[in-house]
Structure 1
Amino acid sequence: MTELSPTAGKNSQDIQGDEKVSPRKAPSICSTRYGIAFMVHLCNFIIMAQNIIMNITMVAMVNSTNHQPSFNDSTEGLPVDSFGDPNNSPKSLPAGAPVYDWNPQIQGIIFSAINYGMILTLAPSGYLAGRVGTKRVVGAALLGSSLLVLFTPLAAEFGLVFLIATRILQGMSLGLVYGGQFAIWERWSPPHERSRLCGVAISGGFGCVCFPLWCVLVYDDPVAHPWINITEKEYIISSLAQQVSSTKQPLPIKAMVRSVPLWSMCVCCFSHQWLMNVITIYTPTYISSVFNIDIRNSGFLSALPFIIAWVVCFLGSYLADFLLTKNFRLVTVRKIATVLGNLPSSTFLLVLPFVASNYIIAVSLLTLSCGLGLLCQPGVYVNALDIAPRHSSFLMGMSRAFAQLSAVLAPTVSGFLLSQDPEFGWRNVFSLSFVINTLGLIFYLIYGKADVQDWAKERKLTHL
């Protein structure tokens, strides 16, 4: 990341000595920092689409007639296949569209492959972005992921190994985008605007079109930005004067490993991501198999929960910052947001198999489960900015990498459960998600903190 210049440091001290610049005096929605948040949002919208496109297209890609027992539900018999009639499946697809003989376990491996790559790059991406700049790391990774998406259909025709390898490489690119973007908020987000700025950015996954916009419009910090308003620049610098380190310090790895608040954040992120991955990956398959909906309607219904989630993330982020202005403790706000994003979502998913006979109720529960899950974004997911602002880019990447383990395990375990227990498969998948999510939430509620930890404060010594 670009260092603050000596002049900038001097200005920061001068401003710090006077009264703090009021947020009301600084530009808001039309400001440069919100423009940066919107660009990150566009980037996230693109990579999210690139990440989940296989989850939707899988319904049409597989020869479901060979594996119909795998998706039986405990409450009622299921249709013979995803399209209602075993003779209609090939006819419902365009002529020449390839259909693959992938059972649920193989599908789980394909779903997981992208996450193997993400685990490799999430943690180092935050550290790398903090060193060389978010603009370079995220921009290059965005272009790479977009090109790999274009190659995916060809890779599937070459064979399963080529497809899995392509998705692993794409996952590495996505990991650089996911983890690398958080370094930018060390320099751009005033403390009382972090929830909403991160919410604007995260609520969205063009890649090749967005790449040049990213290169032209995004800069690593306010000092490097050529068009930022002077008042806004001074406001951001002064609000971060006590948090942005003036020198590069080594990471206190040993202290991080011993930090219970950090572990509580990582465990909660893991458990919540398990829940969200089950919803994200299996919503299209569940709707298609249980309710006998064809791929066109299934695509729309599968997208509906994420449209609601997009709106909820915006509202939740603004609510979190609003509560802070009303003198709520920061740790209270983070935990309230985390509870609202965890408990209702997992509970609705737990109830889902018992109301599968009612189409409207089931789709409503899926929609609410996914939508409310995004309330966690202004909660546990931005907690690293609170407990260790100087190392937040690395910690947010690391916590996402730890959470991404669930993206590997969830589809693999879920695919196994669906294959081994045709009668109670969905109920087992959703019950396991509820248990894991609840345990992670309890751990965070007990041990989660929002004050800067001792190991994260600036020290005169350059080593542990």
Structure 2
Amino acid sequence: MSFESSSEDPMDYLKTKDSEKEPLLGGKVAEAPAGFGSRHVLAFMAFLGFFNVYCLRVNLSVALVAMVNSTNNDPSSVNSTECKEDIPANTTSTNTGEFNWDSNTQGLVLGAFFYGYIITQIPGGWLAEVFGGKKLFGFGVLCTAILTLLTPLAARWNLYVFVALRVIEGIGEGVTFPAMNAMWGKWAPLWERSKLLSFTYSGAQLGTVFSMPISGILCKSDFLGGWPSVFYLFGVIGCVWFVVWMLVVHDTPAQHPRISQEEKDYIETSVGTRQKLKTPWLSIWTSPAVFAICAAHFANNWGFYTMLTCLPTYMKKILHFDVQQDGFLSALPYLVCWMCQTISGQLADYIRKNQYLTTANTRKVVNSCGLLLPAILLCCVQFAGCNHAAVVAIVTFAVGLGGFCMGGFNCNHIDIASNFSGTLMGITNMFATIPGFLGPAVVGWLTSHEDTRAKWQIVFYISAAIYVTGCILFNVFARGEEQEWNIPEVSVLVYKGNKINERDRSESSQNSISSRIQSAQ
């Protein structure tokens, strides 16, 4: 690179598109060290962390079917009889649960978690960037696990105590995604970014796959304790994970006592050694690139959360499966989602590393697969009629293919602002949490007096429309290059024979830019 004219802006290099420049720290990033490294240990432990997070989050979706008295839960509700004749008689059941909660009350219970979850999104990202994500993530999971152990007591005590406990669970768990994103901002090398993040967050889907059928089995088993055992089992697992996490994980490569020097150098020459920087709040809130991620994140979560919290109810009331089958069938979409998330991360990094597409276009293409394909499939549910196999297959792939978004908007926070990726995740996940309580409320409102396929098809149409809107907004406004406000201020940069006095992200970055200018003289 050469600076031939004193009128040339030395920052132009940092502003060029990602397809036209080398990594920000200059020079070629070192080859990845062979073998299983500390970053892979972090990925595996974080994977297990999100596995626990979603076990703790979704077990209520299945347990609620067993908790509620379906023979007397809503006298005004007319349950669908449209598809009963198409399923063997021994697969249907009525449930005489402990609680006489109508559809609206169940929607309140399912959505309560997200009222707390939304509160700690932005604080979680900011705190992780300032104080480190290890403790924040760990204690967030521990808090949720302990409260999960108290769930049966709270539910039997009082409905509003139960709802309050779910809100507090959401507050504890709300820090997890922003904290983890902040950690990967310090740990994820440039060309491993998508695969490490997609593997980490795919733990959430595998947790759902594990939690739903196990919850169904536990709910049906009086010997194992019935529905309360669901909360006891997953609460204990979360507490055990916390102990291991605190022992083996560290906030940064520089703080890790067992990382090899080769791996440490490999990571730090790719992402830098981070300073504690002042958060550019105005630039973040006015950035079109951040708005694009918010739109895609909201759209993806609308469909995902609506299905996550309400799919067991749909399986029971419309397709008339019993609670144990309900758990297994409700888990199928998340098994497909887990596979799609894993594939999307590998695919995105392969495309970027080989420069088939720019980072921005890679994110847009992969993200479009994760939003448009589910939208099309949800619109097709009505054509399956009462064909249970067809309906299950369509819904499974409609939810599962949303996993491709992991290689799209979900990695884009670190692309555009790795220094503030935790804060960005907090902001976008805050908006994306709204579907967590609004989606079940809409389902409850639509189906409270008439639980039919026609009413549920409206639910699917709403989700499809939001998917398409989010896809369009992301494709218009998304960016793949690092944003200028992510780069710490360069106070003075003089060249053409003059002294260079600069302040940048790291010593290696400073030396790299200095050597480039000196070689151009």
TM-score by length of 2: 0.79
- Percent identical pairs in the alignment equals 31
Q: Is the 8 A contact 2:318 2:451 kept in 1?
A: no
**Residue matched to 1:8:** none
- SS of alignment partner, residue 388 of structure 1: helix
Is contact 2:376–2:464 with CA below 8 Å preserved after alignment? yes
Shift of 1:228: 1.1
How far, CA to CA, are the matches of 1:410 and 1:88 in structure 2? Answer: 26
Who is 1:436 aligned against?
466
8 Å contact from structure 1 (residues 79, 289) kept in 2: no
Residue equivalent to 2:177: 178
Preserved CA contact (<8 Å) 2:177 2:425: no
Residue 232 of structure 1 aligns with which residue? 263
SS at match of 1:203: helix
- Counterparts of 1:186-205 in structure 2, within 5 Å, are 186-204=185-203, 205=207
Residue 277 of structure 2 aligns to a residue whose secondary structure is coil
Q: How do 1:413-452 and structure 2 match up within 5 A?
A: 413-423=442-452, 424-452=454-482
Retained in 1: the 8 A contact 2:359–2:480? yes
- Give the partner amino acid of 2:82: G
- Residue 155 and residue 382 in structure 1: after superposition, are their counterparts in 2 closer, same or farther (change >3 A)? same
Give the Cα separation in 2 of the matches to 1:158 and 1:416: 26
Q: Does residue 159 in structure 1 map to residue 133 in structure 2?
A: no
Residue aligning to 1:316: 344
| Residue 404 (structure 1) shift | 0.5
- In 2 relative to 1, CA 88–294 (structure 1 residues): closer, same or farther, beyond 3 Å? closer
Cα pair distance change 1:18/1:182, threshold 3 Å: closer
Equivalent position to 2:280, from 227, 235, 252:
252
Check 1:264–1:20 CA distance in 2 against 1; reply closer, same or farther (3 A cut).
Answer: closer
CA contact (8 A) 2:82 2:386 kept: no
Pairing 1:97-116 to 2, within 5 Å after superposition = 98-116=97-115
Q: State whether structure 2 residue 19 is matched by structure 1 residue 20.
A: no
Deviation at 1:332, TM superposition (A): 1.1
Alpha-carbon separation, structure 2, partners of 1:457 and 1:63:
57
Say whether the 8 Å CA contact 1:122–1:180 is kept in structure 2. Answer: no
Coordinate RMSD, CA, aligned: 2.4
Q: Of residues 361, 364, 381 in structure 2, which corresponds to 1:332?
A: 361
CA drift of 1:346 comes to 2.1
* Alpha-carbon distance in structure 1 between the residues aligned to 2:290 and 2:124: 18
SS in 2 for 1:383: helix
Match in the other structure for 1:302: 330
- Output one character per residue of 1:392-413: Cα deviation in whole Å (capped at 9) or x when no partner: 1111111111110111211111
1:435 maps to a residue whose letter is A
In the aligned structure 1, how far is the partner of 2:123 from the partner of 2:84? 46
CA distance in 1, matches of 2:277, 2:47: 30
| CA distance in 1 between partners of 2:300 and 2:101 (Å) | 28
- Aligned to 1:374, the other structure's residue is in SS state helix
Q: Would you say the 8 A contact 1:83–1:293 is kept in 2?
A: no
Do the aligned partners of 1:71 and 1:426 also contact (CA within 8 Å) in 2? no
Asked if 1:144 is matched to 2:143, the reply is yes
Q: Is the 8 A contact 1:72 1:425 kept in 2?
A: no
Q: Which amino acid aligns with 2:162?
A: L
Q: Could you say which residue in structure 2 is the equivalent of 1:216?
A: 247
In structure 2, C-alpha distance between the alignment counterparts of 1:354 and 1:157, rounded to whole Å: 42
Aligned with residue 377 of structure 2, among 348, 357, 367:
348
Q: 1:388 to 1:88 in 2, by over 3 A?
A: closer
* Distance in 2 between residues matched to 1:88 and 1:422, nearest whole Å: 16
Output the CA distance in 1 between the equivalents of 2:112 and 2:132.
28
Structure 2: which amino acid aligns with 1:35?
Answer: V
Contact 2:300-2:371 within 8 A present in 1 as well: yes
Query: Residue 179 of structure 1: CA displacement?
Result: 2.0
Distance in 2 between the 1:17 and 1:240 partners?
Answer: 11
* 2:392 equivalent among 356, 360, 363: 363
Instruction: After TM superposition, list the pairs within 5 Å mapping 1:51-66 onto structure 2.
Output: 51-66=57-72
Which range moved further: 453-462 or 181-190?
A: 453-462
In structure 2, the gaps of 5 or more residues are: 1-24, 208-236, 492-502, 504-521
CA contact (8 A) 1:191 1:240 kept: yes
Q: Specify whether residues 397 and 72 from structure 1 end up closer, same or farther in structure 2 by C-alpha distance, changes over 3 A only.
A: same
Q: 1:254 offset after TM fit, Å?
A: 1.5
Q: Which has the larger radius of gyration?
A: 2
Structure 1: gaps spanning 5 or more residues: 1-15
- Report the CA distance shift for 1:378/1:17 in structure 2 as closer, same or farther (over 3 A): closer
Aligned residues: 433
- Asked whether the 8 Å contact 1:388–1:456 carries over to 2, the reply is yes
SS in structure 2 at match of 1:49: helix
Q: Is the 8 A contact 1:123 1:401 kept in 2?
A: yes
Distance in 2 (alpha carbons) for counterparts of 1:50 and 1:354:
35
Q: Which amino acid aligns with 1:397?
A: G
